[in-house]
Structure 1
Amino acid sequence: MNLKKSIRFLVAKSVGQYINLLHFVHPKKAVHLSYALFTNPRVGKIQKENLPAILQNTVKETFQHNEHYFQTYTWEGNETKILLVHGWESNSARWEKTLPYLQKSGSTIIAIDAPAHGQSSGKEFNVPRYAEFINKAVKKYNPSIIIGHSIGGSACIYHQYLHPETSIEKMIILGAPSDLKTLLDNYIQMLSLNRKMFRLLEKRYLENFNFKLDNFSGEAFAQHIKIDGIIAHDTTDSVVSYQEGQKIANGWKKGKFITTNDLGHSMHDDNLYQEIYRFLFEAKK
């Protein structure tokens, strides 16, 4: 274990120990803190005056959604439209390495900033709200293709489950987790929180979103997806386990599962992008 990993490990365990002790004195505060740590991204925000170069020469639009707003960036092209949905602690600039492959098709490409990421509002990230942002963008732009990375991929699956009758004809999912319960389990293990905290956090999700963690499953949602697509996952992904991608593929009957090696969680790879390009633009020629 290198020095940085050792420090992160010790910090996580110290925070977990504090939350466990706080639970005995102020259980509500302990739940609030642990929920905030689980849902509030530490990085990923960007300022308008300091945009990454890849986002500067785009058409920018801000959409209001209830008390929130979200940002989109468009690289203009032809009538074929692709919506890009990034993951946790990231923003629309993460697609910089992907764009050249997609732009070869001449397509119009739209990227969206997630809740509490990029230039979108809020401090809390959650998949249901992200799916709402996606739905508003889909209604506005009418993309035929949607591509999601990491938990952005989970949000795409959830959106497609909720809204199957849209303009979307093909979907690409890269390194996405299937089960929210698995993510929460990993978080609790990382901090060494006691099991009472899991039950309290589960209760918090039920109160906020009216669903049980066991029911929030990409594998289950994918069983209802009728469009074609690709699920790609790397065997060396240390952020989202390879088994999570397998779960989604098991549920999605029209989804093609692609296994990669040594790409990690980012999934940036020339061969993978070329295969995705062929699937999106050459498969039926």
Structure 2
Amino acid sequence: MLSGGPDTSALPVIAVVGPTGSGKSDLGVELALALDGEVINADALQFYRGMDIGTAKITVDERKGVAHHLLDTMDITEEASVADFQARCRGVVTDIHSRGKRAIMVGGSGLYVRAALDTLEFPGTDPVIRKRLEEECDAFGLAPLRARLEQVDPVSAARLGDARRVIRALEVHELTGRPFSSFMPQRQYHQPAVQIGLSVDRALLRERLANRVHAMVDAGLLREVERLDAEGLRQGKTASRALGYSQFLKVLDGQSDVQQAAEETIVATRQFARRQLTWFRADPRIQWLDWQDPARLAKAVELAGHS
């Protein structure tokens, strides 16, 4: 059959995943150069303009001329939305593939990666319902809300711990009449995809993460937090909770010093890396490569279906 352009229907999305500090950004660039591709950011905190040092955002020089999408798209006062990311990311994938190039998604935000790759339905939101539930939580604590969730959605009640997620689950149930857990996806790709995970030596990763936090401090993390604080960092529900930023806001408030904030950031970052590994290890479709394998690029290119 004759066609007016390249057949892009069979091109898989390539996703490079794994814990923070494992070298995903570098591999994404290397793959893009090898496969004539473009990178799509799937790290929720790298959406934010100005959050550069603390998120280890890839620099312009490190991108080596490769186009990067969905970086620096939001103000720090905005709240990141998985549903919005899903729509925007899929639009970018379509655009990249329509030009005959390869779409390479890079990031460690597991739910965002899954939202882009998998068949996943997002229920709507209702700010009135959410505000009422938040006010109930403020007035009476989380326990009554959790008890209510256990009655209408015991699966979610067993999975969700913090107030924000419990409130979201109750909001969805009240809005749709369905339990929040019913919206959880099967592991079924929305379109062809290849997931490449970077497998790490945990002891080496722990040391690397500590060194990276100290390097961030030396690079001016406190100054970055101070500047963002003046721009409304504390008003951002997503940005203000980011690793490093919440800890260094305490320094600005006189509740901590730089050394203590750095140590707390290291601990929190290591915990986050463990959660990422748990999330990604649960997906049997991910094909793992050793993060320090000298041949990892060649193996990644082969996994991407391009030898």
User: What TM bracket, shorter-length normalisation?
Assistant: 0.3 to 0.5
Higher helix share: 2
Q: TM-score if structure 1 supplies the norm length?
A: 0.34
Q: Which has the larger radius of gyration?
A: 2
Provide TM-score, normalisation by structure 2: 0.32
Higher relative contact order (CA 8 A, sep 6+): 2
